[in-house]
Amino acid sequence: MKELTVKACLWPDVVRVREEDRPKGRANGSTVYAVFRDGELSADFCGVATHHDISLHPGWIFADLVEHRKLAAVPVGAGIRTALKTMRKHGMEVLAVMSRDEFVGVVTRESILQALLERDRQLLLESVRLRDIAEENHRQTVIWVERLAALNEAARSLLGVLARTSIETELLQAGLDALRKLLDADFGAIGIVDEHGGMAEFIYSGISEAQAKQIGELPQGKGLLGVVIEEDISLRLSDMRSDPRSIGFPPHHPPMKSLLAVPISRHGRVYGRIYLCDKVGGEAFSANDEELAASFAHSLSLVIDNAREMEEVKRARQRLDYMAHFDALTDLPNRTLLTDRALQFIARAQRKREVVAFLFLDLDNFKTINDSFGHTVGDELLREVAKRIASCLREGDTPARMGGDEFIIMLPGIKDSLDAAKVAVKILGLLNEPFVINQHQIYSRASIGISVFPENSGNLDELLAQADSALYHAKKLGKNNYQFFTSEMNSTAQRYLQLEHHLRCALGQGELSLYYQPQVQIDSRAVIGMEALLRWHSPTLGMVMPDQFIGLAEETGLIVPIGEWVLRTACEQAQCWRETGTPVRVAVNLSGRQFQDFQHQRGLLDVVATVLAETGLPAELLELEITESIMMRDVDTTLATLQGLKRLGVRISVDDFGTGYSSLSYLKRFPLDTLKIDKAFVKDVSTDDSDRAIVAAITAMAGQLKLELVAEGIEDLEQLVFLSGQRCNYGQGYYFSKPVPVEQATALLKPGALSE
């Protein structure tokens, strides 16, 4: 007989994935994942992963799952003996099948067994068909062939259980259904008991869901069924009602006459029982029926025994894998797992031009704590330090314990080295808070050294050595600080963090103030509005200009409380001017972060309404300026918010117009009052034909839409003359006045203050 090849035994459930993907959702236990490096999922095959691998390492990407396993494969024309020998050699249950360098599929022990079963069944049917026997014998043979086919189907279910190394309800159900039909029984059930004799699993066949619901409880395992389990014997009764032991079935169980019950046991250990009731024709169960049921039960006992043994093996492997890749004290990855992940992330960063940072952390006074409080307290401190470090990180970051009181934190996919500094500051701040361990209050500081890929090096060992060197430098500088491997990174990060620290204190310490720049009617030179502009005078840093700190305030979220302070202060000043007889509207800029946070928290409408009510300023004297980019970010939400502001009576202005991407159709929808031509177009308007054309077009459009137009950045008379000729009625810029403190701004409100 010609040997089967692996091509005839390919496993049907294979899914192709990329090495950087993660398993999603609950994986099907039968699914095998073919892992590829390229985006087309057709070349650069690098291995297979199974449900077993995923259950052992649920957080790993597919590259992790195949990294430690040798890529074993057989050619598509290899025989099954070769495949099984290769599986045994490498201790594998799944084997890749290749045609030269192209991935064809996988073969498993189960797929080989299924192929063998199918071939044997076909051979048996063929032999029966060709056998020249008497008609009666032929009829009996066909009946047995059909029975064998049904039993073969049950065996397939059992093989499925065996392949999955666990007892799965749907597979037990399939096996029981096949057995019941094979023996022509009305009703059948499989009961699996736990270690204490209680019912762990109960599967029935031959009754409807409504009948099962009416029964409502499982058989108690007493009487006849108890005898099967307790004495490990089979029972075959033609009329079970005559047996005094016929108890233990629920009251609403269907009536039964004949009974066949066999134990599921192996080497004196009973795992449960199978029982079948009432043959369809009314006759009693035969000795052949008992033999078939016992054979089925024996196979099932092998499966259960194997499943439980495999569970033990699985737990042992998990323990060994855990010991190989994780630190037993802190549950953090160890050096081995960190190295594996770091090499993968560095390779990915090279392809995608990303940045990866490594933070080498060492506790500053750990030896003193160990000597003073003992190693038990020291170990608990390390566990708590690990938790605090992990709480500062993103999901994709990797904190690892290197041994002793040393930790390494890998930060993949960051924007730049500044992100690493922020994480270091956050960790140091959290570790500076006291730990309470065994009623002792313990203070533990740390020092951190930082290296960055690719700026410092492209080699992992060098990056770790550089981070260690930076850590040593941090220790020399007095501990409880961080240092980059290069001085340039240190200076940039420290300047940024110093600025952030002072900005956080600026609002509470009264360091912020508003300057005002007039908006002027070009023909009459009358001041028609004042734009409020933020200034910061730090006692430590001196005068800090907006372009140096506004971006920082946006990034940190400080712009939200600062923006509300600006709004309130500007409204208070406008009300003051109104009360002194020089009413003038005040313009306040809203940043993107302010607009977004206001929408999702208290609501911009509530904030503006509250400020207006508390300051007493009429709404028409407040103008809110937003940029085109803010306006177009979420059109529907922005439109609803602006309409709400208009209902309050507040004016809406679009700042830096011409630099964004708004269209005329959207401009028509928004309830706008003013467009402000960006100063970039005004700067060369007297000499550049393109700028002239743009300003002329904006002016014409504003006229058609009946919007006021303010030209920003007017610095000389030539610009003013051109704009006046284009019927741009309002202007703002150094030609009239630079931004000035409130006292000088008040003086500009006097009639004739800006006359020629």
Element counts in the chain: helices (H) and strands (E)? 26, 27
Residues 340 and 310 in one domain: no
Rounded to whole angstroms, the Cα distance separating 453 from 457 reads 6
Mean pLDDT highest for which of 17-31, 47-61, 197-211? 47-61
Q: What is the DSSP letter of 621?
A: G
Mean pLDDT of all residues in 344-355: 90
State the CATH number of the domain containing residue 678. 3.20.20.450
Q: How many CB atoms lie within 10 A of CB 415?
A: 9
Is residue 602 domain-resident? Answer: yes
Rounded to whole angstroms, the Cα distance separating 103 from 98 reads 5
- Using CA atoms, how far residue 74 sits from 10, 36, 38, 116, in Å, is 12, 18, 22, 19
Q: Which residues contact 213 (CB under 8 A, 6 or more apart)?
A: none
Residues of the chain with pLDDT > 70, as a percent, come to 85
- Using CA atoms, how far residue 584 sits from 133, 213, 376, 471, 570, in Å, is 115, 80, 71, 58, 11
Mean pLDDT of all residues in 207-234: 72
Per-residue tokens: 461: 């060992």
Is residue 400 domain-resident? Answer: yes
Per-residue tokens: 86: 């290769």
Residues 341 and 259 in one domain: no
Look at residue 702 and tell me whether its pLDDT is greater than 70: yes
Is residue 545 domain-resident? Answer: no
Is residue 551 domain-resident? Answer: no
pLDDT bracket for residue 551 (50, 70, 90): confident
Is residue 731 domain-resident? Answer: yes
Q: Which residue has the tokens 């709400």?
A: 644
Mean pLDDT of all residues in 611-634: 89
Residues 168 and 85 in one domain: no
Cα three-residue angle 373-378-383, rounded to 5 degrees:
145
Residues 293 and 340 in one domain: no
Task: Classify 437 as helix, strand or coil.
Answer: strand
Among 56, 77, 98, give the residue marking a domain's end: 98
Rounded to whole angstroms, the Cα distance separating 583 from 576 reads 9
Rounded to whole angstroms, the Cα distance separating 62 from 46 reads 10
pLDDT given at position 596: 66
Q: What is the DSSP letter of 549?
A: H
pLDDT bracket for residue 115 (50, 70, 90): confident
Closest CA to 355 of 366, 364, 346, 363: 346
Q: Which residue has the higher pLDDT, 167 or 491?
A: 491
Cis omega (within 30 of 0) for bond into 219 = no
Mean of the per-residue pLDDT values of the chain: 83
Domain extent at residue 11: 6-98
Residues 340 and 293 in one domain: no
State the CATH number of the domain containing residue 339. 3.30.70.270
- Using CA atoms, how far residue 180 sits from 190, 362, 722, in Å, is 11, 67, 98
Look at residue 545 and tell me whether its pLDDT is greater than 80: yes
Rounded to whole angstroms, the Cα distance separating 729 from 723 reads 8
pLDDT bracket for residue 162 (50, 70, 90): very low
Residues 305 and 342 in one domain: no
Instruction: Supply the DSSP string of 18-79, one letter for each residue.
Output: ETT----SS--TT-EEEEESSTTSSS-EEEEEEHHHHHH-TT--HHHHHHTS---EEETT-B
Rounded to whole angstroms, the Cα distance separating 684 from 689 reads 9
Residues 381 and 312 in one domain: no
Rounded to whole angstroms, the Cα distance separating 76 from 11 reads 13
Look at residue 146 and tell me whether its pLDDT is greater than 80: no
Residues 613 and 728 in one domain: yes
State the CATH number of the domain containing residue 179. 3.30.450.40
Query: What pairs with residue 356 in β-bridges?
Result: 453
Tell me the pLDDT tens digit for each residue of 421-461.
Answer: 999 999 999 999 999 988 888 988 899 999 999 988 889 99
Task: Classify 642 as helix, strand or coil.
Answer: helix
Tell me the pLDDT tens digit for each residue of 724-754.
Answer: 888 888 999 999 999 999 999 999 998 888 8
Give the phi and the psi of residue 598 in degrees, each rounded to 5: -60, -40
Residues 721 and 685 in one domain: yes
Is residue 448 domain-resident? Answer: yes
Residues 301 and 339 in one domain: no
Q: 550 near 559, Cβ under 8 Å?
A: yes
Q: Within its chain, how far is the Cα of 66 from the centroid?
A: 21
- Using CA atoms, how far residue 639 sits from 283, 546, 621, in Å, is 81, 28, 21
Rounded to whole angstroms, the Cα distance separating 551 from 693 reads 32
- Using CA atoms, how far residue 161 sits from 172, 293, 306, 308, in Å, is 8, 18, 10, 12
Rounded to whole angstroms, the Cα distance separating 126 from 324 reads 54
pLDDT given at position 176: 83
Q: 732 near 653, Cβ under 8 Å?
A: no
Instruction: Supply the DSSP string of 340-365, one letter for each residue.
Output: HHHHHHHHHHHHHT-EEEEEEEEESS
pLDDT bracket for residue 601 (50, 70, 90): very low
Q: 273 near 229, Cβ under 8 Å?
A: yes
Look at residue 507 and tell me whether its pLDDT is greater than 80: yes
Is residue 512 domain-resident? Answer: no
Rounded to whole angstroms, the Cα distance separating 439 from 377 reads 10
What's the chain's length in residues?
756
Look at residue 504 and tell me whether its pLDDT is greater than 50: yes
- Full 3-state SS string of 443-493: CCCEEEEEEEECCCCCCHHHHHHHHHHHHHHHHHCCCCCEEECCHHHHHHH
Buried b (16+ CB within 10 A) or exposed e, 279-301: beeeeebeeebbebbbebbebbb
Q: How many CB atoms lie within 10 A of CB 641?
A: 20
Residues 742 and 610 in one domain: yes
For residue 673, give the amino acid letter.
D
Q: 87 near 11, Cβ under 8 Å?
A: no
Give the phi and the psi of residue 563 in degrees, each rounded to 5: -60, -40
Task: Classify 504 as helix, strand or coil.
Answer: helix
Count of domains forming the chain: 4
Look at residue 204 and tell me whether its pLDDT is greater than 90: no
Is residue 106 domain-resident? Answer: no
pLDDT bracket for residue 640 (50, 70, 90): confident
Tell me the pLDDT tens digit for each residue of 396-407.
Answer: 899 999 988 999
Among 254, 284, 317, give the residue marking a domain's end: 317
pLDDT given at position 393: 92
For residue 227, give the amino acid letter.
V
How much is the pTM?
A: 0.49
Among 485, 510, 542, give the residue marking a domain's end: 485
Sign of torsion over alpha carbons 712, 715, 717, 722: negative
Q: What is the DSSP letter of 3?
A: P
Cα three-residue angle 240-243-248, rounded to 5 degrees:
75
pLDDT given at position 665: 65
Residues 48 and 174 in one domain: no
pLDDT given at position 272: 85
Mean pLDDT highest for which of 113-122, 275-284, 457-466, 614-623? 614-623
Rounded to whole angstroms, the Cα distance separating 540 from 726 reads 47
